[in-house]
Amino acid sequence: MTELTDSAGHLAAQPSPNWPQASGAGITDPAVTAVLARLETLPQSPVAEHEAVYNGLHDALLDALNAGPGDSGPADGPAAGGGA
């Protein structure tokens, strides 16, 4: 098992993880790309704040994905303002 303390009982330095980089490959929606770019600040955030960061990213991605592509009309349903 890996020891978390050195021989003097002090906390040993832990190596930093290699954080994956959001490549953006295949992402064509600029709103989604902007939200994912916020992941680059995660390694500098205290671990205690990671849950809040991920929750915020989740909500922002839902908003971006539910908004639909900017260059097309509504995916399904009647047009806005249309009556039936």
pLDDT in tens, 13-70: 566 667 666 666 788 888 888 888 888 888 888 999 999 999 999 999 898 888 866 5
**Which range in 1-5, 28-32, 79-83 is most confidently predicted, on average pLDDT?**
28-32
What's the domain count of the chain?
1
Residue 12, domain member (yes or no): no
Residue 47, domain member (yes or no): yes
**Residue 61's domain spans which residues?**
30-67
Instruction: DSSP letter for 29, please.
Output: -
Q: Is the CB of residue 59 less than 8 Å from the CB of residue 31?
A: no
Q: Tell me if the pTM is above 0.75.
A: no
